Amino acid sequence: MKLKVCGMRETENIRELMALEPDFMGMIFYPKSSRYVSEVPQTDISATKIGVFVNEDITVIQRKAEQFGFDMIQLHGDEPIGQASILKSLGFRVIRVFSVTDSLPMEQMKAYENEVDFFLFDTKTPKYGGSGEKFDWSILKGYNLKTPFFLSGGIDLEDLETIKQLNIPQLYAVDINSRFEKEPGVKDIEKIKAFKQQL
């Protein structure tokens, strides 16, 4: 199981995180987010870089991807399938987010199966992501599509055993964010280190 750390922003904090060698690092480009990124970090990033966007214009995504050197794009809003297809054609790997509560939107997900590389399941809230709230992970046991997925939404240090016990082959990575922060956009590196060691 891979590790994604999302909501990174500060250069020194990113430098410290890279010493832990996470698999993925997410940067958020949603202006309403308290973790919104406005400047390119001045440090080497060894993890796969993911740009997180919410209902953004494709030209803006392309420009940010070039500026920041993204390998992957995460679509976290209500983007149409066509946008995922265009990004794929431009050479990006694409993550499509589905916000859930007590059931998975299987029909909607099936439509995206051949258009994206990964799904990401997050907790449905009035806002887009970063709520620190969990959904009922037991619903994932009914997941029978071939697309691998990231698990997000309020994951904390003590949740790892529960996640491992889900025992779902398509569970590709865990995505941690707000529960591992000292403040929005600044991660607690020692806590992430403990999580990664257990992972």
Q: What percent of the chain has pLDDT over 90?
A: 93
> What is the pLDDT, as a whole number, of residue 126?
65
What domains can you pick out in the chain, each with its CATH number? 2-198 (3.20.20.70)
Question: What's the whole-number mean pLDDT along residues 25-43?
Answer: 95
Question: What's the whole-number mean pLDDT along residues 133-152?
Answer: 94
Packed helices 11-18 and 189-198: angle between N→C axes, nearest 10 degrees: 30
> In this structure, how many other beta carbons lie within 10 angstroms of the beta carbon of residue 194?
14
> Which position has the token pair 């990004």?
87
> What is the pLDDT, as a whole number, of residue 133?
84
Residue 120, token pair as written in the block = 């990401």
Closest CA to 150 of 140, 165, 142: 140
> What is the pLDDT, as a whole number, of residue 182?
96
With a cut of 80, say whether residue 131 has pLDDT above it.
no
Question: Can you say whether the dihedral through the CA atoms of 158, 196, 128, 165 is positive or negative?
Answer: negative
pLDDT in tens, 44-95: 999 999 999 999 999 999 999 999 999 999 999 999 999 999 999 999 999 9
